[in-house]
Every structure is written in C-alpha cells, then in structure tokens.
Amino acid sequence: MTNERTTAGVIITAVGVMLVAANLRPAVVSVGPLIGTISADAGFSSAVAGLLTALPVLFFGISAPVAPRLANRFGIERVIFGALLVLILGIVVRLVPSSVALFLGSAVIGAAIGTCNVVLPALIKRDFAHRSGLMTGFYSMTLSGGAAVASGVSVPINDALGGDWRLALASWGLLALVAVVVWIPQLSHVHRVTAASPTSSLLRNPIAWAVTVFMGTQSLIFYTFVAWLPQYLVDENGMTPVGAGAVVASAQVVALVMSLVAPIVAGRCDDQRVVTFVVLAVCAVGFAGLIGTDVWPGFWAACVMVGPGASISLSLLFMVLRSSGSKQTGQVSGMAQSVGYLAAAVGPILIGLIHDVTGSWTVAMAVLSLALVPQGLAALGAARNVRMTD
C-alpha cells in the first residue's frame, strides 16, 4: 500500500507541477493580442502600453532573489500555493475599471509568477531526481504551451465576452483556481531550500555574466516580440486581431518544439556554440524576412521564435553545464533570472517608445532584432565548454 500511495503522490505532484507551469505565462502573454483594444479604450500611447506589458517581466526580476528566502522560511509547497493565490488576486485587481488597477494588477501578477519561476524548478529537482530531464522537458513544454494557447484564444475569448477585455484577461483566473485546488494536497509537506545568493566572486565571473546576458536578451526578445507582434501584423500586414493572434500562437508552438529539441541536441555536444549560433541565425533570418517582405508573415514569425524558444532551454542548460556544483547552479540561476528579467523589462517599453517617435513598427522591430548582437556575444562565453570556478 505504501508504494501505491507513493506512486499516487508522485502522480498528483506531477499533475500539480504541470498545472502551476500552465499558469506562468497566460496572464502575461494574453495582454499582447489585446493591446490595441486596451490602448484604444484607455488612451495609452505605445510607450505606456509597452510599460503595461513590461511590468510583469520587471517583477519577475524583482521577485527572483526574494523567492528562495520565502521558500527557506515557509517551504516550497506553501510558497507556490501562496503565489497562486497572489496570482489570482492580481488577475482580480485588473478587473477594476481603472488604469492604476490595471498596472497594479499586472505588477502583482509578475511577482507571483516570478516567485514560481524560481522555486518550481527546485521542487522538480527534489521530487523527480531520477526523472529530472523528463520533468524539465514537460515543464518547458507546458510553459510554452500555455503561452501559445493564450496568444491564440485571447481575442476569441474577448469577442465571445462582447469585447470586454478586462473580463477576457480575468478569465485566466479560472485556470489558476484549478491549480490552487489541485495543489492543496502538497501543503501536507514542508520542504525548505537554502537561500543562495551570488557570491562576490561570481559577480566578477565573466562566464556567469555571459549566462546572465544570454538569459536576459532572450527574455527581452521573447516578451517584447510577443507583446508587439499582434499589433505589428494588424498595422503593417492588415491582419485582423484574430488572424494576428493565430500567427503568434503558431509561432509559440514552434518555440515549444524548439524548447524541447534544442537542449537535447546541445546536450550531446561538448561545446554548444555551433548549435546556439544556428538558432540565433534562424532568428535573425526571421526578423529580416518579417521586416523586409510583405509575404509569409507567419513563417517569418515562426523563424524569429526559434531563437527565444530554444534559448530559454539553452539558458537553463548553460546554468548547469557551466557551474561547478549544485550550489553554484542555484546562484547562477538566481543571478541570471534577477538581472536578466530586469533587463528584459526594458524591451516592450523601448520598442513602444520607438514606435511613438518614428510612427513605424518596421523601425521598432529592426531595433528589437539588434538584441541578437549582445546575445551572440554572450553565447561566445556561455556556450563554450568551460566551467566557472568556485
């Protein structure tokens, strides 16, 4: 009976982890397909709208160094449960018909998701030690899958609700509520983790910074591209919002596949620079095609998403391969997520501001593509077959 209960417990935990992961993107990504409607209704400029999409990413970074300390004090399971409740709170706050509430709710959502971003992988490593690769793959797949679904169905949900975009955004609270209920059995366990902050030597380590810059630039490209691509397709290609959302969703599916394939291929290589630069080259070709032609926008968007789709998994892989031990892996992860997400939050605002100044989404997207340059330079160190010293 003990083995049966243990097996059942593992299955329940796995389902809970996947449901939590499924909630870590929709509340953020769903804003992008509706940003035109939101901006028109609230009178936002592109820069202000960019701030709205950037706030959650900013709070990913702010909450990253705090999350391990919370898990050390209260336990991973309770912190995830609390974060899910805070996520629901943020979603509910966005229902209030006020711009202040909209921004406040987005910040709260970012803090909740950012906390889970940090502590959930630690739970996977602990509870699925012999299946960590499989569970990490499912985790990444669920993250990308949740983003793809949110991109594709946000506009149809908004239309079905009579154009009430606040209610459309709030609908993702139902998914979070399901995760809360399924997570309740985990509260009988209390596992704490040691809060590991980057050491001064790590902060001076060029490889640690290479991993951090690689993580930050891929996040900047992903969140900025997903935020503004729907509006780009509507304004520059004459697509309907539903069609633009479908293109973004399809591109997210490509990102999902790449998040699974890239680390498998790269993990078989002693040096990951070739794999990484192939991925970045495909992303660059996608930007060039999207900006330079009026045909096949879906294909070019998919090529662009090959970059961040693969790079998020490669970032996690670099944290493991370049570190000299599990403690250092945790330190690099905290450093990369904190600094990386803080830097990535600049992207949506900057691109929105460039559009306001130039009146051109083409120029704005061209500027975004330049983020591939520091990402490529960072890959020279992050993807090279070396290890950081303690």
* Tokens representing residue 240 in the block: 């309907």
Q: What is the pLDDT of residue 13?
A: 82
1 vs 284: which has the higher pLDDT:
284
Does the pLDDT at position 4 exceed 60? Answer: no
b/e map 209-218, b = 16+ CB within 10 Å: bbbbbbbbbb
The domain in which residue 291 lies consists of 2-382
Indicate if the pLDDT at residue 171 is higher than 90.
yes
Residues shown for the chain:
390
81: in domain: yes
Does residue 107 come out as left (phi exceeding 0), alpha (psi in the -120 to 50 range) or beta?
alpha
* For residues 277-303, average pLDDT: 94
The letter for the amino acid at 286 is G
Structural domain includes residue 388: no
* Amino acid identity, position 133: G
| pLDDT at residue 194 is higher than 90 | no
Structural domain contains residue 355: yes
d(CA 109, CA 99): 15
pLDDT tens digits, 203-241: 888 998 999 999 999 999 998 998 889 889 998 888 888
User: Alpha-carbon Rg of the chain, whole angstroms?
Assistant: 20
243-279 confidence digits (pLDDT tens) = 888 898 899 889 888 888 888 888 788 888 999 999 9
CA nearest to 315, candidates 177, 140, 171, 148: 140
Q: What type of residue is 73? A: R
Mean pLDDT, rounded, for 302-328: 83
Of 45, 163, 170, 157, the residue nearest 96 (C-alpha):
170
Name the one residue in this structure whose structure tokens are 């001064």.
200
Angle value at C-alpha 87, between 62 and 223, nearest 5 degrees: 55
Confidence of residue 389 (pLDDT cuts 50, 70, 90): confident
Does residue 168 belong to any structural domain of this protein?
yes
pLDDT bucket at 1, cuts 50 / 70 / 90? very low
**What confidence score (pLDDT) does residue 2 get?**
39
Closest to 239 (Cα-Cα) out of 291, 165, 294: 294
Q: Are 128 and 135 in contact (CB under 8 A)?
A: yes
CA neighbor of 365 nearest in space, from 277, 309, 289, 251 = 289
CATH number at residue 326: 1.20.1250.20
Reported as a single tens digit per residue, the pLDDT across 19-43 is 999 999 999 989 988 988 999 999 9
Domain count, the chain: 1
Buried b (16+ CB within 10 A) or exposed e, 37-66: bbbeeeebebbbbbbbbbbbbbbbbbbbbe
Contact residues for 202 (Cβ-Cβ < 8 A; gap 6+): 208, 328, 331, 332, 335, 388
Assigned domain for 190 exists:
yes
Tell the residue number behind the tokens 């990504």, with chain if given.
29
**Does residue 334 lie in a domain region?**
yes
| DSSP secondary structure letter of residue 198 | P
Residue 389 lies in a domain: no
Angle between helices 372-382 and 206-237 (to 10 degrees): 150
pLDDT digits (tens, 9 = 90+) for 45-99: 888 988 998 899 899 889 888 888 888 888 888 999 999 999 999 999 999 999 9
Residue 387 falls within a domain, yes or no? no
Residues 6+ apart with CB under 8 A from 375: 213, 214, 217, 218, 221, 280, 307, 311
Q: Judge contact between 37 and 241, C-beta under 8 A.
A: yes
Note the pLDDT tens digit of each residue in 332-380: 777 888 888 888 888 888 998 999 899 898 999 999 999 999 999 999 9
Query: Tokens standing for 97?
Result: 């018909």
Under the phi-then-psi rule, with left for phi > 0, alpha for psi from -120 to 50, and beta for the rest, what region is 162?
left
